[in-house]
Every structure is written in structure tokens, then in C-alpha cells.
């Protein structure tokens, strides 16, 4: 076992002693929250925690008046800052403050979060609110520095004490991970679960692996012919704009160079692990400590000059065949340490009781870790998670294990193992793989829409990798349908959408109009979500009943190599993997499709434009529309800030659409405009997708075909105008 550097903790302690002297002097002058006494339970309690007793007393009064009462108290200040709370817990020994301190630290996912929490320049008062709920009472803690992200935490209140299954503070503070417990969890999954037999894709290893040698040395080796147990690292490279140039150079420099198509000898021969960035170094240590000798890291194991397209489409094998995927949730960038002192466990754990209620810490939810860690902001890591049967999430203060049969949190207070429900409606990292295995086609399409929602807000270093970063998911999706339906299926991958449910997949929308200058329509067609700028929030989940008049006809244009095009995805002699890879490669190049559906204008030719403020109606939190000032008038209006557009005929209900792009402040130099210019709203046409879903289109001036249109938005859920397409002609149009 190695000893990680503890300089950071020492630095925090030194700063806290200096800063808290001033805090204590300030507290003494008006309210000494840090003064400690012994309460009726023989526990040390500071004056600030007496405020929590008053909150519990308030809750008792509410319950006596109304046994079914639910609600929240007013906030009470417990300490003037987190550093003051930390000082009280560490020096004064207040048992309640130790519980509150641990609660704050357990809510911090990354090392950067802990640094911000303990930064003297980011301090603000710590408040507590009592939340009375039928499921149990909770203390909600918050500290919100001005113009800085707020810190929050939760402490549960119970009638019985709850103790840690494996208390790390017994005997002495355990500031580093107990790998014995983690090794037992990993081995239990591999020996007693069906994860490997159900979800392992093939017997192939990745092309290259890192072999871990003795004395903290590693070397790059070709994947052995027989399948070996290897670990995969999923991590965030970091934002080069937020780090020194030398750090980014170190991260980029970790890539394996080649000579004559072969990795350089410096990588094929054993070399020290410290040549790699810190996150990778610690991943190597974790892998070796858990008994595994092979590790796959994208930047190292995909040598420069490798066919990146081919490797990207093989990701479902790389992650699906791994012993587990190690997600570096604690690292904001590849030069961050994963293994370090865990400050939450630096004090002895003790059951705390106030006014008959036992206080205990709760673990952070796995969903929060998945959605809020730096890894979740990187596009490539989405498929790394969704394609992995077994995942180890490594946060700053504890680890979490997730596989299709169980989820385990380190030092879990509530029974240690949380079995999954058999219901496929639950949210879990492995739901996509489970649906692929069971062949539930309808749910699989819903899961793809969820993947799109999770993918579009993420960032990419290279926008051209928009499709490559989910290529493995597309291959796995197609393979699941091919194996369910046999060798000949009608499914096609169409620039991030799927043919069999094309109308449903077309009905995506943006949460707010995008910056048109950042569009990616040189990479994907306008009707694909992949044409949106990076880091865009989209919505794909809504009630959808397909229109009987809509029909997908054919692909008109695709940009794909002729050699790839010759490999038919429906060729029976190819296995589902080969057909899936061919389908994904073809699908990236689809540009123009032909569809059929009911078609009409969105805004009538006689409509007059009105301002949005003139028709919007507000009463408190209620928002709607009031057309009373415009009786018998066709009108339309446009919200400049978010891209909403409304169309209303004189004696019919209104339809509210959402435009994909906002109008820029300055006219672009290029004649191509993905947005609808002001004054051109009457040129918008609409194509029916479902009973209450339509595409908003304008003619595409780039194409010579007179019925070629590009997408500019969508309208969904127009309950006030269900007969909008009644009697309209069915028309064949091309979407580009």
C-alpha cells in the first residue's frame, strides 16, 4: 500500500487556523456559535448546533398541531462559515459539527470541489433548514458565497441510531481507501453474478493494452489472443483553456507515437508510470491493487496514426469485454490525483442525538455523480458508461460500484448492497445494455432518445468527432435489432436518427434557440440534432402518436466511401457486428432524405405580426396568452430571446413552435443562414410528424430540387389546434 501526498490537508489545516482566529473574534463580539458544552446525552455541542435543536423543537410543534404536516422551516445560521464549522469539529470536538462537516465533504465529487469548499476566499454562513416529510425528516444545509456556486448537504433524522457497516474511523482515521472491501465487491460480482456471461460481447481484447509490471512500470502490448481481464479508464482530459500550457502538453503528450505504423520502442519497453498524467498513474495503481495486470486508456492505447473511425466503432467491444470500467469522477482534468486523503473521515464517527432524534450522514446518489462529475461533460464518456456492464465510480471521498445486479457504496450505511429492481423503467447506467440483451425494441428506441438528451449538452475537443463519439452505441443498437429480427431488417442509421421510428426521432427540440454561428451543419444535415452547436440542451421525451400520413421514402444523398458502400448491411454472410459497423459508417454520411406527409404553411399569408409582450399573459407564476386585443385577426409573434414563435388564425387556437436558432446581432458574411431572418416568418412551412408534432421548414436555396427544405424548428403538443393539418395535401419533400 502506498501513501498518497497529504500536503493539501496540511495546507487546509494551516489556513483554517489563521483564518478562523478572525472568525472566532468576530463570533465572540456578537454571537459565539463555537462555544461548546455537554448536552443531556453527554455529547459535546456548540452554540451553533443549539439552533438545530430549535429547528427540531419547531418540528415537534408543527406535528402536535397537525400530525400530517409537511413543510420546511425558516433557515437558521449554524456557523459563520464552513471553515468555522470545520474548526469547531476538529478543535472543539462538537459531535454535531463533525456530522455536518462530513455531510458537506461527502457531497463534493471532485478534488476541485473540496478545494472550493475550504477556500478562505469563498466562505459564507452555513444555514440549516428542517424539512418535514412523510418519508422522514431531514436537515438541509447550505453555504452560498456571493456569485459563487453554492454548497449543500443533507443530514437525515431518525428515531434509531444507524452505524457504518465498516467504520473507517475506528482505531484511527482511515484517510485512504480500504482496498480489501473494494476487492471483495469486485470479486463477488465476477464470481457470483451473471454480468460476464450476459453482457460480455466477444472474446476479443482491444488492439493494444497497457501491461502493469513491477516497480510501478508499465509497457504497451498487443492484446493477447485469448481474452484477459483488463480494466478501462474513463476520464476527462480537461479544458485546455483552464489550465497552464505545460499541463495540456503533458496530457496530449501521453499519446503513443508510432514509427512505420508501429508504436515507438519507448512505449513497447517498460517505462515508469510517472511519465503519464496523474489520473492515469492512479488508475494504474488502483488496477494493480485490485489484482488486474492490464489497463486500457484511450490516449495511450490508440496509437497516433491509427484508423480512428475503425477504433471508435469498436468501443462497444472495448468496454463490453472489460473486467470493469474505472470512472475518474473525482478528476476535473487528467493531471488531477484520484488517490488522496479523504477529509470526510479524519474524525472519529459517532452517533449523534439531539432532542430525541439521531443524526446520520447519507451517501450522495449515484445519479448525481453520473450527471454532475467532470466526466459527464465530455462527449466520449457517455458511450463509455452506457456500454460498460460493470462500473467503478471513484469520487473524492468514496467509491461506488454499479453492475446490472447490484449497486454498492463504500461504507454504505443502509445495508451495503442495493439490489436493482427487475423493472426496465428504472434508470441505471446499464439500462441500455439490458434493453439490447432483452430485445425490447420499443423501449430501446426510448433509450436512444435518452442517449441523445444526455449527449448533446456535452463538449468535444474536435467537433468533427460528433458521430464518432457515439459510434459504439449506434453499432450496439443496430446489432441488438439485427439479432432480434434476423439477418434482413429494415433499420437504417440516419445521421444520429433511426429509420424505423424516424418521425419520432425527428421531433427533437432545443431548450432555447442556439447561436447560429456555432452550428455544425457542415457535419450533419439540419434535421439531425448533430447539426446543433456543442453543449446544447435538447428535449426528446414527450408524448408522441405518429401520424398515419407520414412516411419515410428513401435516402437521397450520402457521402461514404464506395468500398464501404459495397458492403451491404443486410448481407447474410456478415455477422451483426460487421453489419452494424457498416451501417454506422454509412449513417454518418447521410445528408438528404425523402419523406412524405401532410404539408402546409405555418403562418397564414394574411397574418399580422405582433410583439410577444402584447399577447403574453402573466398572473404570478401562471403564464399564458391573451388575444383579446386582436379579435378576428390572423397573427404571429416571435420571442427574440429564446426562439419561440407563435401562429394563430383568427378563430382558431394558437400553435407555439420552437426555432432552432436565434437571429444574430450582425448579419453573417456567408449567404447561408440556418436561422429564420426577421420578416421571413411567412416562408416557414410545416410537415406533420405526429398527431401533435410538426417540423418547421424553409426552402433550401443551396439545392436545385424545388421541394428540398431545411429544418428551422419544431412545434410539439399543440392541444389548442388539433385539426391544424385537417384537409391538407400529402406531399413528398426532401429534407437536407
Structural domain contains residue 163: no
Query: Worst-scoring range by mean pLDDT, 9-18, 191-200, 282-291?
Result: 9-18
Q: Residue 597 belongs to what domain range?
A: 593-735
Are 19 and 123 found together in one domain? Answer: yes
Between residues 730 and 146, the one the model is more confident about:
730
Distance between CA atoms of residues 239 and 335, nearest Å: 11
Asked if pLDDT for residue 32 goes beyond 80, the answer is no
Closest CA to 555 of 524, 532, 587, 580: 587
Closest CA to 607 of 522, 679, 505, 555: 679
Asked if pLDDT for residue 401 goes beyond 60, the answer is yes
Asked if pLDDT for residue 98 goes beyond 80, the answer is yes
Confidence of residue 201 (pLDDT cuts 50, 70, 90): confident
Strands 635-638, 685-690: pairing is unpaired
Between residues 456 and 27, the one the model is more confident about:
456
Query: Worst-scoring range by mean pLDDT, 287-291, 655-659, 721-725?
Result: 721-725
Structural domain contains residue 682: yes
Are 186 and 103 found together in one domain? Answer: no
Are 611 and 722 found together in one domain? Answer: yes
Structural domain contains residue 724: yes
Query: Worst-scoring range by mean pLDDT, 2-11, 30-39, 603-612?
Result: 2-11
Asked if pLDDT for residue 94 goes beyond 80, the answer is yes
Structural domain contains residue 518: no
- Domain end position, chosen among 158, 185, 219: 158
Distance between CA atoms of residues 319 and 331, nearest Å: 20
Residue-level pLDDT at 703: 63
Structural domain contains residue 667: yes
Closest CA to 235 of 176, 287, 278: 278
Asked if pLDDT for residue 442 goes beyond 80, the answer is yes
Residue-level pLDDT at 486: 61
pLDDT by residue (tens digit) across 320-379? 999 999 999 999 999 999 998 888 888 877 789 999 999 998 888 899 999 999 999 999
The pair phi, psi for residue 112, each rounded to 5°, is -65, -35
Asked if pLDDT for residue 420 goes beyond 60, the answer is no
DSSP 522-570: TTS-TTSGGGSPSS--EE--S---B-TT-EEEEEEEE---HHHHTS-TT
Mean pLDDT of 296-309: 90
- Domain end position, chosen among 124, 158, 192: 158
Are 313 and 432 found together in one domain? Answer: yes
Beta-ladder partners of 558: 590
246 Cβ neighbours under 8 A, 6+ residues apart = none
Query: Worst-scoring range by mean pLDDT, 60-64, 459-463, 630-634, 664-668?
Result: 664-668
Structural domain contains residue 498: no
Are 278 and 396 found together in one domain? Answer: yes
Residue-level pLDDT at 314: 83
Are 177 and 149 found together in one domain? Answer: no
Confidence of residue 166 (pLDDT cuts 50, 70, 90): low
Between residues 29 and 505, the one the model is more confident about:
505
pLDDT by residue (tens digit) across 584-597? 999 999 999 999 99
Strands 324-327, 230-234: pairing is parallel
Query: Worst-scoring range by mean pLDDT, 33-37, 553-557, 587-591?
Result: 33-37
Query: Worst-scoring range by mean pLDDT, 28-42, 272-286, 316-330?
Result: 28-42
Strands 590-601, 730-735: pairing is antiparallel
CB-based contact 296:209 (threshold 8 Å): yes
Mean pLDDT of 402-406: 90
pLDDT by residue (tens digit) across 209-230? 999 999 999 999 999 999 999 9
* Helix (H) or strand (E) segment spanning residue 502: helix 502-506
Structural domain contains residue 361: no
Are 100 and 22 found together in one domain? Answer: yes
Are 102 and 42 found together in one domain? Answer: yes
Report CA-CA distances (Å) from 251 to 277, 300, 373, 473.
6, 10, 19, 26
Distance between CA atoms of residues 686 and 601, nearest Å: 6
CB-based contact 281:212 (threshold 8 Å): no
Mean pLDDT (the chain) is 87
Mean pLDDT of 569-576: 47
Distance between CA atoms of residues 343 and 358, nearest Å: 23
Mean pLDDT of 475-502: 87
Are 616 and 657 found together in one domain? Answer: yes
pLDDT by residue (tens digit) across 681-732? 999 999 999 999 999 999 987 666 678 999 999 999 998 898 999 999 999 9
Residue-level pLDDT at 309: 76
Confidence of residue 426 (pLDDT cuts 50, 70, 90): very low
Distance between CA atoms of residues 312 and 199, nearest Å: 19
Residue-level pLDDT at 427: 64
Cβ atoms within 10 Å, residue 162:
15
Q: Cα dihedral sign for 370, 373, 379, 381? A: negative
Residue-level pLDDT at 571: 40
> 3-class DSSP state for residue 122?
helix
Decide: pTM greater than 0.75. yes
Percentage of the chain lying above the pLDDT 70 cut = 88
Are 99 and 239 found together in one domain? Answer: no
Asked if pLDDT for residue 7 goes beyond 80, the answer is no
Domain count, the chain: 3
CA dihedral 451, 456, 457, 458 (to 10 degrees): 90
Asked if pLDDT for residue 657 goes beyond 50, the answer is yes
Are 117 and 205 found together in one domain? Answer: no
Residue-level pLDDT at 575: 65
Report CA-CA distances (Å) from 101 to 36, 108, 141, 353, 398.
16, 11, 10, 16, 15
The grid coordinates listed for 476 are 450496439
Are 321 and 384 found together in one domain? Answer: yes
- Domain end position, chosen among 158, 189, 207: 158
Query: Worst-scoring range by mean pLDDT, 272-281, 478-487, 606-615?
Result: 478-487
Structural domain contains residue 454: no
Amino acid at each position: 500500500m502506498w501513501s498518497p501526498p497529504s500536503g493539501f490537508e496540511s495546507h487546509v489545516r494551516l489556513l483554517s487556523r489563521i483564518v478562523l482566529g478572525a472568525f472566532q473574534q468576530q463570533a465572540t463580539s456578537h454571537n459565539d456559535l463555537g462555544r461548546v458544552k455537554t448536552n443531556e446525552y453527554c455529547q459535546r455541542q456548540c452554540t451553533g448546533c443549539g439552533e438545530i435543536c430549535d429547528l427540531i423543537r419547531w418540528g415537534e410543534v408543527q406535528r402536535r398541531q397537525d400530525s400530517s404536516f409537511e413543510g420546511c422551516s425558516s433557515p437558521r445560521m449554524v456557523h459563520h462559515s464552513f471553515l468555522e464549522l470545520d474548526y469547531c469539529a476538529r478543535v472543539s470536538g462538537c459531535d454535531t459539527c463533525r456530522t455536518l462537516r462530513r455531510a458537506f465533504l461527502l457531497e463534493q465529487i471532485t478534488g476541485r470541489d473540496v478545494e472550493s469548499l475550504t477556500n478562505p476566499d469563498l466562505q459564507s454562513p452555513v444555514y440549516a433548514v428542517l424539512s418535514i416529510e412523510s418519508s422522514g425528516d431531514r436537515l438541509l444545509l447550505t453555504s452560498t458565497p456571493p456569485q459563487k456556486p453554492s454548497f449543500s448537504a443533507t443530514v437525515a433524522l431518525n428515531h434509531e441510531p444507524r452505524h457504518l457497516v465498516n467504520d473507517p474511523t475506528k482505531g484511527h482515521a482511515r484517510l485512504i481507501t480500504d482496498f480489501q472491501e473494494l476487492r471483495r465487491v469486485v470479486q463477488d460480482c465476477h464470481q457470483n453474478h451473471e454480468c460476464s456471461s450476459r453482457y460480455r460481447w466477444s472474446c476479443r481484447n482491444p488492439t493494444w493494452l497497457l501491461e502493469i509490471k513491477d516497480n510501478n512500470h508499465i509497457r504497451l502490448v498487443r492484446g493477447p489472443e485469448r481474452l484477459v481481464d483488463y480494466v478501462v479508464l474513463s476520464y476527462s482530459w480537461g479544458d485546455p483553456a483552464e489550465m497552464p500550457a505545460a499541463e495540456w502538453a503533458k496530457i496530449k503528450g501521453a499519446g503513443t507515437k508510432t514509427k512505420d505504423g508501429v508504436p515507438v520502442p519507448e512505449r513497447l519497453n517498460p517505462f515508469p508510470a510517472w511519465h503519464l498524467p496523474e489520473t492515469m498513474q492512479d488508475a494504474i495503481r488502483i488496477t494493480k491493487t485490485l489484482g488486474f495486470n492490464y489497463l486500457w486508456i484511450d490516449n495511450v492505447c490508440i496509437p497516433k496514426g491509427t484508423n480512428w473511425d475503425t477504433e471508435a466503432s469498436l468501443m462497444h467491444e472495448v468496454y463490453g469485454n472489460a473486467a470493469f470500467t474505472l470512472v475518474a469522477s473525482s478528476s476535473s482534468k487528467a493531471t488531477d490525483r484520484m488517490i488522496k486523503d479523504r477529509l470526510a473521515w479524519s474524525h472519529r464517527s459517532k452517533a449523534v442525538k439531539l432532542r430525541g432524534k439521531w443524526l446520520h450522514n447519507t451517501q450522495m446518489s449515484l445519479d448525481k455523480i453520473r450527471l454532475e462529475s467532470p466526466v459527464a461533460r465530455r462527449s466520449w464518456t457517455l458511450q463509455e458508461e452506457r456500454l460498460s456492464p460493470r462500473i467503478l465510480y471513484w469520487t473524492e471521498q468514496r467509491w461506488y460500484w454499479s453492475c446490472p445486479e447490484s449497486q454498492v457504496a463504500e461504507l454504505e450505511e443502509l445495508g451495503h448492497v442495493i439490489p436493482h429492481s427487475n423493472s426496465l423503467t428504472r434508470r441505471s447506467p446499464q439500462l441500455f445494455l439490458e434493453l439490447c440483451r432483452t430485445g425490447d425494441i420499443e423501449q430501446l428506441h426510448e433509450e436512444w432518445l435518452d442517449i441523445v438528451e444526455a449527449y448533446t449538452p456535452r463538449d468535444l475537443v474536435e467537433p468533427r468527432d460528433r458521430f464518432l463519439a457515439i459510434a459504439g452505441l449506434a453499432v450496439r443498437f443496430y446489432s441488438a435489432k439485427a439479432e432480434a429480427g434476423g439477418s434482413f431488417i429494415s433499420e437504417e442509421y440516419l445521421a444520429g436518427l433511426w429509420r424505423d421510428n424516424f418521425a419520432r426521432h425527428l421531433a427533437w427540440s432545443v431548450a432555447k434557440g442556439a447561436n447560429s454561428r456555432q452550428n455544425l451543419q457542415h457535419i450533419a444535415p439540419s434535421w439531425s440534432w448533430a447539426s446543433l452547436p456543442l453543449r446544447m440542451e435538447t428535449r426528446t421525451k414527450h408524448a408522441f402518436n405518429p401520424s398515419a400520413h407520414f412516411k419515410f421514402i428513401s435516402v437521397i444523398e450520402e457521402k461514404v466511401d464506395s468500398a464501404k458502400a459495397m458492403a451491404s448491411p443486410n448481407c447474410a454472410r456478415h455477422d451483426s457486428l460487421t453489419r452494424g459497423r457498416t451501417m454506422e459508417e454509412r449513417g454518418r454520411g447521410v445528408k438528404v432524405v425523402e419523406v412524405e406527409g401532410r404539408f402546409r404553411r405555418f403562418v397564414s399569408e394574411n397574418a399580422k405580426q405582433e410583439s410577444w409582450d402584447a399577447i403574453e399573459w402573466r398572473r404570478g407564476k401562471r403564464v399564458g396568452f391573451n388575444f383579446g386585443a386582436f379579435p378576428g385577426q390572423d397573427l404571429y409573434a416571435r420571442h427574440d430571446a429564446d426562439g419561440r414563435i407563435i401562429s394563430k388564425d383568427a378563430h382558431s387556437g394558437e400553435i407555439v413552435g420552437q426555432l432552432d436558432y436565434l437571429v444574430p446581432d450582425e448579419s453573417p458574411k456567408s449567404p447561408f443562414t440556418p436561422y429564420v431572418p426577421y420578416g421571413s416568418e411567412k416562408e416557414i412551412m410545416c410537415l406533420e410528424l405526429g398527431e401533435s408534432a410538426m417540423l418547421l421548414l424553409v426552402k433550401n436555396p443551396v439545392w436545385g430540387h424545388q421541394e428540398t427544405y431545411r429544418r428551422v424548428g419544431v412545434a410539439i403538443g399543440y392541444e389548442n389546434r388539433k385539426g391544424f393539418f385537417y384537409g391538407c395535401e400529402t406531399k413528398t419533400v426532401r429534407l437536407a
